[in-house]
Copies of this chain bind each other. A is one copy, B any other.
Amino acid sequence: MLSDAFPLQGEETDSGAASGRVLARSIESPRPIPAFNRSAMDGFAVMSTDIRHAPVNLALIGTSLPGAPASQSVSPGKAIRITTGAAVPSGADTVIPIELCDASQSSVLVRSPLPPGKHVIVSGEDFQKGQTVLQAGHRLRPHDLAVLSAMGVARVNVVRRPLVSILVTGNELLPPFSTPKDDRISDANSPMLQALASRDGALGKTWPGVADTERDVVSALRECAQSDVILVSGGSSVGQEDHVPAAVAKLGSLEVHGLALRPASPAGFGRLASGTRVILLPGNPVSCLCAYELLAGKYIRLLAGLSSDFPHALLRLPLASDLVSEIGRTDFARVRISHGEVEPVAISGAGRLSTVVQADGFVLIPPEIGSLNKGDEVVVRLF
């Protein structure tokens, strides 16, 4: 599934709103930065030839401030007072910091020589006109916005956010955060999937709950056919109420159904005839989280131009007790960190939300490993 996931096409957006977005096109500097020779210090702009044999006394003929450049040029024997960021006046090529001088109102004594060009940032020294500053595929960081602003790049072309439709099926489901009543339970997966999709650079759209009939599932899938990805939670197992696999097959193709993954074995994926990717997630919230992280999240991040790698911070610590698994199956083990050790919370118990609430993260046990033993070092991905 991941092999056909490519970053979506670019769209224009305001640079000021682009933090965290991924560039679809590289950014070249439209002008040299700085655009003029600027002083890196508070001091005096001089000709380097004048100070070669310092100490030397120079006449002060003006001031250059940021936003108020000197009208004068510097000629031999002359200097201009200057502050950090101000334009270095024509004629001058060097700035002597204030602390290396003794200045009066009308003259300045430069106490010792400095190399030519010192403390002057020459036009184009930071970025030349036309230079590629940020590459396509780069995710914009806060300080990249500073650079875009400095270059006067007001709009950028960024990878479009994937539109992810979130469908939950189940006659027992009430809307998210409802008060449960009798055997009706509140939809727990939509808000979780919405937050996960947002974390992964997508725009999630939660649809109203879908009844457990093939007709209702088919009709709901059809309504979402304009999105890039449809996440369907529930109805993906093999029970009499599990209509999602058949509905996907009817509207396109069901490519994979059933994974050697605990606790998310009923997960799968396919495509609508429209091309929209459908990912089947178990209805059980813990299994749904597992299938999202191991399957859907990776796919969505690739569409968003991000890495398919897990976004979680990592810790490498020893196991406090054995972690039992089986060869041939990947296990998503919820774990807690305690006293520098990794305590298993649960592998099974997919029906128990407490196993993820109490966990600090998860450990993946790959299919080639049977079980892990107390003391083994494992990689924990932090929730």
Contact = CB atoms under 8 A, between A and B. Distances in A.
Given A83-B240, A191-B145, A352-B125, A152 B180 contact: yes
B126 A42 contact: no
Interface residues of A, number: 89
Interface in A127-161: 127, 133-134, 141-154
Interface stretch (A52-60, A108-116, A244-252, A283-291): A283-291
26 contacts: A14-B177, A19-B195, A65-B172, A65-B212, A66-B170, A67-B170, A83-B241, A85-B170, A85-B185, A85-B284, A86-B172, A127-B353, A142-B193, A142-B289, A143-B192, A145-B194, A146-B192, A146-B285, A147-B357, A149-B192, A150-B180, A150-B185, A151-B186, A152-B179, A152-B180, A153-B177
A283 B85 contact: yes
Contacts of A285: 143, 146, 150
A183 B142 contact: no
Contacts of A121: 351-352
Nearest to A382: B141
Closest CB pairs A-B (n = 3): A67-B171, A67-B172, A66-B172
A66 B183 contact: yes
A199 interface: yes
Given A180-B35, A351-B38, A173 B67 contact: yes
A308 interface: no
A222 interface: no
A252 to B, nearest CB: 26
Contacts of A146: 188-189, 191-192, 285, 288-289, 353, 356
A143 B383 contact: yes
Interface of A: 14-16, 19-20, 31, 33-36, 38, 40, 42, 65-69, 83-87, 121, 125-127, 133-134, 141-154, 170-173, 176-180, 182-196, 198-199, 212, 237-241, 283-285, 288-289, 313, 350-354, 356-357, 383
A196 B182 CA distance: 46
Given A36-B182, A142-B195, A183-B69, A147 B85 contact: no
Contact of A239 (B42, B187, B313): B42
Contact of A357 (B144, B153, B185, B198): B144
A209 to B, nearest CB: 10
A143 B313 contact: no
A191 B149 contact: yes
Contact of A33 (B150, B172, B353): B353
B241 A150 contact: no
A224 to B, nearest CB: 20
Contacts of A289: 142-143, 146
A33 B352 CA distance: 9
Contacts of A354: 126-127, 133
A101 to B, nearest CB: 14
Contact of A188 (B147, B188, B189): B147
A87 B193 CA distance: 25
A222 to B, nearest CB: 23
A272 to B, nearest CB: 26
A188 B150 contact: yes
Given A33-B353, A143-B356, 8 more contacts: A16-B191, A36-B183, A83-B241, A87-B182, A133-B357, A146-B285, A149-B192, A150-B186
Given A16-B177, A183-B36, A149 B357 contact: no
A133 to B, nearest CB: 6
